[in-house]
Chain A
Amino acid sequence: MMERRTFADREDVLGAVMLAPALAYVIVLVGVPFVLAIVLSFSNATAGSLSFGWAGLGNYAAILGDPIFLRALRNSAVVTVGTQLLVVILATAAAQVFRATFRGKRFARFVLLLPWAVPVSLAAIAWTWIFDSTFSVINWTLKASGLLHGWLYWLGDPGLALTAIIIVQAWRIFPFATVIVLAGLASIPQEIVEAAVVDGAGFWRRLFQVELPLLLPVVAVAVLFGVVYTATDLGVVYILTGGGPANTTHVLPTLAFQRGILGADLGQGAAIAVFLLPFLIVVAVAMLRLARRAEVGGAAR
């Protein structure tokens, strides 16, 4: 007698069933809000009212003429790019350190990963103390070591505030990037690195001409994640500066939140948020192409 086909044998049905939760999650929690945001951005909807009128491109026209929005757009770009630069440098350096064997390496690695595990809001609150206008630990340290003569108002000056934001964002994601770079380093065949040693390459030549080029696909992935992480983050800027002083340090997510939720202008908030989209799509496509190119050997053939 033939055995009966069980449920587990029917791959088509089984596949669909196993895919369903993920699909439902994406549709309900990502797809619907996404479509809703785009629809809202063309409407004059406000929070606390159910009226919903068509506004056409009105919201977009309004924000494009708004210097605060343009400033936020620029800030978003500056913070995102600046953070990634800092992260790539820090992560590469940290990965070099963690590749060596030393006492207490496990503990050091644990400490390294901590920033990633700490909730954003808690971390940001701690950093507001570090950058506090009166108690700033950084200022005290710089003063005590004789490097600083005046006083830095970290969160009071637009330039310094952006720098502070970049520092916190970088601090937050560089552990993750370090782990990725470490994994990438481990995947470089030992013989290739040794060949470079025998060929007479010193540390820097090895790093820049052998290891980093081979790491490029992996670093691209880390940067891609970092860009999405930083560009969409609301918490750090919101807690650290709240967009101030005088709306000079807003990034797109904080401005969207301020206009759409606090200011109750859902339409304009949505339009601001949607502005992130083309920006992120371009970045994602560019990064993936870069990763692919590096993978096939450095040449687009």
Chain B
Amino acid sequence: MAGVDIRNLRKQFGDLCAVDGVNLSIREGEFLVLLGPSGCGKTTLLRMIAGLERPTGGEIHIAGERVDGDVPPRARGIAMVFQSYALYPHRTVFQNIAFPLEASRLPRTQIAEKVQRAADMFGISRYLDRYPRQLSGGERQRVALCRALVRDPKVFLLDEPLANLDAKLRNTARDELKRFQRQIRTTTVLVTHDQVEAMGLGDRIAIMDRGKVRQVGTPEEVYEDPVDTFVATFVGQPPMNLLDLGDPALPPRTLLGFRPEHFLPRSVFQPDEDVRAFRFSVRRVEYLGSDRYVYGSISDGAATDTTVIAKLPATIALAIPEGEQQEFAVPRRALRYFDAATGSSRKI
């Protein structure tokens, strides 16, 4: 089995703990996305798996073998795509893709055959004679993926491979990447700070913050049941609303959380539906085509100065006048609770 097991992994740069006791189990064939804000240690974690960075402590097992310590990258059976793609500028596309095969001392005829097959798969056979600088960003990205995959790695590591593409290309590239991974079924770890990318690509998502993994789960799990306020506000756009209403029905110091798309005018719900109603004083309405974002605050409670956002799909055509109070509601099943002191979720 070619999974990756990470146990209590740490990396210290001087005083800074870039990766701080990470435990993570990546299953064979899984597409795992490491998601987190800039500087949270995603790249550092990936580089330790690759063997480019030496852990300060902890263990890494790839396919059941312990590899932290002196096992060099080439012996780990990993392939990596860098954010800048790191193509060799002095080599043609063919020579770029052939490089890892040459390094593993494959016979020439086999190299040519493998390169051709991989290039066909990524639709870059036309560019084999070109140099990287003669390619567009999207083409370079495919060459980089192709070079990484050509020698059938056990684990495939990608550091923000889509970040340098424009928005439109990113969507296609995301779709292609997911298709390739489904097809070849290689264990894949992808780093990103784009939560849409993470939700779209990952079989599971590991959310990191300040060197620690906060939550690991399927996109549904991390979206529906965030373990803490960090995950709750990091995943989802706009972020989850968090309020300390001082509600006597709840334990003291409890934050109430609900997603903007669940916060809708009361009249949208059935009269007998189990909802929690709020008086919402509307400050501003943003019209975004497919949605309307409504900004305001809850006026019946202790959190009148916390901004609350409602996200109304275009199918709700109700007029929402700015500067007026409205009756809004959230279905009870969509309510989440968090400890105001520690931020961790609470079951109520």
Contact = CB atoms under 8 A, between A and B. Distances in A.
Are A and B co-members of a single complex?
yes
B86 A192 contact: yes
Nearest to B157: A198
Contact of B89 (A194, A196, A297): A297
A159 to B, nearest CB: 38
Given A297-B133, A298-B91, A200 B86 contact: no
Contacts of B100: 199-200
A202 B151 CA distance: 16
Nearest to A294: B90
Contacts of B80: 195, 198
Contact of B99 (A191, A201, A202, A298): A201
Contacts of B89: 192, 214, 297
B241 to A, nearest CB: 40
B73 interface: yes
Contact of B147 (A194, A199, A214, A298): A199
B84 interface: yes
Contacts of A214: 89-90
Given A194-B82, A199-B100, A297 B90 contact: yes
A192 B140 CA distance: 14
Judged by DSSP, the binding face of A is helix
B103 interface: yes
Contacts of B293: none
A72 B293 CA distance: 86
B67 to A, nearest CB: 13
A143 interface: no
B242 interface: no
A294 B79 CA distance: 28
- Residue of A200, A202, A205, A216 ringed by the most chain B CB atoms within 10 A: A200
B104 A195 contact: no
Given A297-B90, A298-B131, A199 B103 contact: yes
A interface residue count range (under 10 / 10 to 19 / 20 to 34 / 35 or more): 20 to 34
A210 interface: yes
Contacts of B52: 194, 197-198
B50 interface: yes
Given A198-B79, A200-B74, A192 B88 contact: yes
Given A298-B91, A298-B131, A299-B131, A201 B103 contact: yes
Interface residues of B, number: 29
Contacts of B102: 205
B48 interface: no
B78 interface: yes
A191 B86 contact: yes
A187 to B, nearest CB: 12
Interface string A178-220: 0000000000010110111111111001000110011010000
Interface in B111-162: 131-134, 147, 151
B90 A200 contact: no
A192 B104 CA distance: 18
A216 B78 CA distance: 30
Interface in A23-72: none
A228 to B, nearest CB: 26
Given A200-B74, A200-B100, A195 B131 contact: no
Nearest to A188: B89
Nearest to B133: A297
A251 B99 CA distance: 45
Contacts of B79: 198-199
A195 B91 contact: no
A53 to B, nearest CB: 56
Nearest to B81: A195
A66 to B, nearest CB: 46
B82 A191 contact: yes
Contacts of A199: 74, 79, 99-100, 103, 147
Contacts of A213: 90
Contacts of B87: 192, 195
Contacts of A209: 99
Nearest to A212: B90
Contacts of B84: 189, 191
B99 A196 contact: yes
A189 B90 contact: no
A198 B74 CA distance: 6
A195 B102 CA distance: 14
Given A199-B74, A297-B133, A298-B131, 16 more contacts: A189-B84, A189-B86, A191-B86, A195-B82, A195-B88, A196-B88, A197-B52, A198-B79, A199-B99, A199-B147, A200-B74, A200-B100, A202-B74, A205-B102, A205-B103, A213-B90
20 contacts: A189-B84, A189-B86, A191-B82, A191-B84, A198-B52, A198-B80, A199-B79, A199-B99, A200-B73, A200-B103, A200-B104, A200-B151, A201-B99, A205-B102, A210-B88, A214-B89, A297-B89, A297-B132, A298-B91, A299-B131
Q: Closest 8 CB pairs between A and B?
A: A200-B74, A195-B86, A200-B103, A199-B100, A191-B86, A297-B131, A298-B90, A213-B90
